[in-house]
Chains A and B, each alone.
Chain A
Amino acid sequence: MPPQSQPRIPVEERLFSLVLALLATETGLTKGEVLSTVQGYRQKFNASGDNANLERQFERDKDDIRELGVPLETLESPGQAGNNQNLRYRIPRGAYELPADISFSAEETTLLNLAAMVWREGSLSGESRRAMLKLRSLGLTPDEPVLGYAPRVRVRDAAFEPLNTALAKSAVVTFSYLKPGETNARARTVEPLALIQHQGRWYLAAREAGTDVRKTFLLRRIVSKVTISNRSFTPPSGDEAEHALRELEGLWNTNTAEVRVTAGSDAATRLHKRRGTTETASDRLLLHYTDINILAEELSSFGPEVFVLTPTELRDAVVTRLQQLVTDHQDTDRG
Chain B
Amino acid sequence: MAERKAVHQAADKLAFLLSLVPYLMDHDQVGVADVAKHFGVPEEQIRDAVKLIAVSGVPGATGTYQHGDLFDLAWDNFEDNDEIVLTNLVAIDDSPRFSGREAAALIAGLQYLSSLPENADRGAIASLMDKLSRGASTLPSQMGVEGAETDATLALIRESVAAGLQVEFDYLNSRGEQERRRVDPLRIESMDADWYLRGWCHVREAVRTFRLDRISNPLQSTSPISFSAKDVQLPDTLFQGSADDFDVTLDVASAALPLLSDYIGDAAVTPTAEGRVITTIRVAHLFSLKRLVAGMPGVVRVVTPGEGRQAVAQWAAAALEMYEN
Give residues in A with beta carbon < 8 Å to B.
Answer: 1, 3, 10-13, 15-17, 19-21, 23-24, 33, 36-39, 60, 64-65, 67-71, 93, 95-100, 102, 104, 108, 111-112, 114-119, 123-124, 126-128, 130-131, 133-134, 136-139, 141, 147-154, 156-158, 164, 167-168, 193-201, 205, 220, 223, 235, 239-242, 244-245, 249, 264, 266, 269-270, 273-275, 297-298, 300-304, 306-307, 315, 318-319, 321-326, 328-331
Contacts and interface: CB of A to CB of B under 8 A. Distances in A.
A97 B97 contact: yes
Interface stretch (B49-57, B80-88, B239-247, B265-273): B49-57
26 contacts: A15-B11, A16-B18, A16-B53, A21-B58, A21-B91, A37-B59, A39-B65, A64-B7, A67-B99, A70-B96, A71-B137, A115-B109, A126-B12, A127-B102, A130-B99, A133-B15, A136-B19, A137-B96, A164-B141, A164-B143, A197-B112, A197-B145, A239-B142, A300-B319, A322-B320, A328-B301
A280 to B, nearest CB: 19
A138 B94 CA distance: 9
Interface string B82-120: 000000001111111111111111101110110010010
B97 A20 contact: no
B279 to A, nearest CB: 15
B318 interface: yes
Contact of B144 (A69, A114, A164, A194): A194
B2 interface: no
Interface string B285-310: 00000111111111001100010011
Tell which of A114, A126, A131, A147 has the most Cβ of chain B within 10 Å. Answer: A131
Interface string B192-214: 11100000000000000001111
A245 B294 contact: no
Interface in B22-41: 22-23, 26-27, 38-40
A60 B131 CA distance: 30
Interface of B: 6-8, 10-20, 22-23, 26-27, 38-40, 52-53, 55-59, 63-65, 90-106, 108-110, 112-113, 116, 119, 124-125, 128, 131, 134-138, 141-146, 148-149, 151, 153, 158, 161-162, 172, 176, 178, 186-194, 211-214, 216, 229, 255-256, 258-259, 261, 275, 290-298, 301-302, 306, 309-310, 312-313, 315-323
B91 A23 contact: yes
B200 to A, nearest CB: 14
Contact of B101 (A95, A164, A306, A330): A164
A264 B178 contact: yes
A335 B58 CA distance: 82
Contacts, number: 376
Q: For chain B, what secondary structure do more than half of its interface residues adopt (helix, strand, loop), or is it mixed? A: helix
B259 A156 contact: yes
B23 A150 contact: no
B296 A150 contact: no
A11 B10 contact: yes
B229 A147 contact: yes
Contact of B105 (A15, A128, A264): A128
